[in-house]
Amino acid sequence: MKSIFVTTLLIAAFSSGAIKAQENKGQPIKPAKVNVWITRPDQSALLQKQAAPLTFGKLNNSYPTITVNENQKYQQIDGFGFTLTGGSAVLINKVPLQARKHLLNELFSTKGNGIGISYLRISIGASDLNSEVFTYDDMPAGQTDVKLSKFSLAKDADVISLLKEILKINPNIKILGSPWTAPSWMKTNESSKGGSLKPEYYQVYAQYLTKYIQLMKAEHINIDAITPQNEPLNPKNNPSMVMEAAQQTEFIKNNLGPAFKAAGVKTKIITYDHNADRPDYPIDILKDPEARKYVDGSAFHLYGGKIEALTTVHNAYPDKNIYFTEQWVGAPGDFASNLNWHINHLIIGATRNWSRNVLEWNLAADSTYSPHTPGGCTECLGAITVENNITRNVAYYIIGHASKFVPQGSVRIASNISGDFVNVAFKTPQGKKVLIVINNGKNSGSFNISYKGKAAAYKLSAGAVGSFVW
């Protein structure tokens, strides 16, 4: 009798729950309140949490409405961040220990006022924002080292030590490596600037990149992905190297891809890493079936072309990923115009065009926009300026509006553009919804956020950016 009684209770309880589930089915579930963080172009608010959260209720039909639909999903997000240049690392390493710990927690943690940077790009060898040009295997003029016996990461000591500190805060941060040049002895012009990789050194260079990944791993630093060449159509930086699409195709399919496979290297190969005005470059590589099997996706900058070119490449090869890997802020910069352009084109534009990440350029510079190589960028404004005090510049807030709220593993979800309120929406692995909105109108304006049949209204000043989280 006891077992029958217990069974009856269980059936009754299940039936009651089933009835309640049926009652709730199809009815709107009231979402939690919406927390809001705002940045205004006049800097009166800088990624500032608003005191009063929004409450979902009835729709105000007189306002434009942004409808967020989590059932329509797009690409997964790998993260938001910056390039940790060699110069950035040198400057941050000079900050006194306790102040540096505080700064790194602010940059790489989401706790408290942290902005939670989740993706970093680093240079393989020097970029033009190092104090000197170097690779890991430089040789005197006329000499070569085809066995890479002189290979050394010693000149990247500042980057390596700082990455180890960062990894203690965020062990899951993704790291992308990009070379600005091969060693000069491998190049057609035997110079750090311009020139191309000699075909006879393709295999040696593939081993060079493989060795880099292996030695970084020995330092407990995992390189998630590399691009074979930063800005392969730009010979003007120092360092730089030209690598046409046909050359990169050859290098990937016959050298780099097989070298990684033979060494058991799981690091992704991402092609191109240059401006959106040449979508034909990555498409030409992906056309080649032998190259394509080694390629994870394509990376873009936006110093030329339109952000919609990312979708052109995605549509041509939807099984391959899209990344956005660099955009600078020119010094001294105009906060309002830079905030508007970068939020519209990158945080919103790149992600709405399938990018899994958004990276601004250099993390840190000093007040003279140094260090840089002779012939390197002399007007690159860091996300932070490192002097006696730390100054947070516009790129800090541009990235912070996404990185603080949209962690790795989030997914972009559907949201419509309504009037002047350009936006993008995400769902986090924890189930939170994040809507990033900029008011492109000339005046303050109100809009609705509509979600599951309920709506919350907000008034956003002209040019302001809001991150809405529920």
Q: Where are the beta strands (DSSP E) in 129-191?
A: 174-179
Please say if 326 is a catalytic residue.
yes
- Give the side-chain half-sphere CA count within 13 A for 131: 12
Pairing of strands 225-226, 268-276: parallel
The span from the CA of 40 to the CA of 415, in Å, is: 22
Single out the catalytic residue among 23, 165, 200, 326: 326
Residue pair 116/169 in contact (Cβ under 8 Å)? The answer is: no
b/e code 94-107 from CB counts within 10 Å (16+ = b):
ebeeeebeebbbbb
The span from the CA of 339 to the CA of 74, in Å, is: 25
| Chain-centre distance for alpha carbon 302 | 14
Cis, peptide link before residue 407, omega less than 30° from 0? no
The span from the CA of 376 to the CA of 128, in Å, is: 4
What sign has the CA pseudo-torsion 337, 83, 208, 238? positive
Q: Which of 395, 384, 381 lies closest to 342, judged by CA?
A: 395
Cis, peptide link before residue 239, omega less than 30° from 0? yes
Q: Collect all residues with Cβ–Cβ distance below 8 Å to 71 and sequence separation of at least 6.
A: 413, 414
Cα maximum dimension of the chain: 96
Other C-beta atoms lying within 10 Å of the C-beta of residue 461: 17
Single out the catalytic residue among 165, 190, 200, 231: 231
Backbone region of residue 325 per phi and psi (left: phi > 0; alpha: psi in -120 to 50; beta: other values): alpha
Gap between the terminal Cα atoms of the chain = 49
Active-site residue list? 231, 326
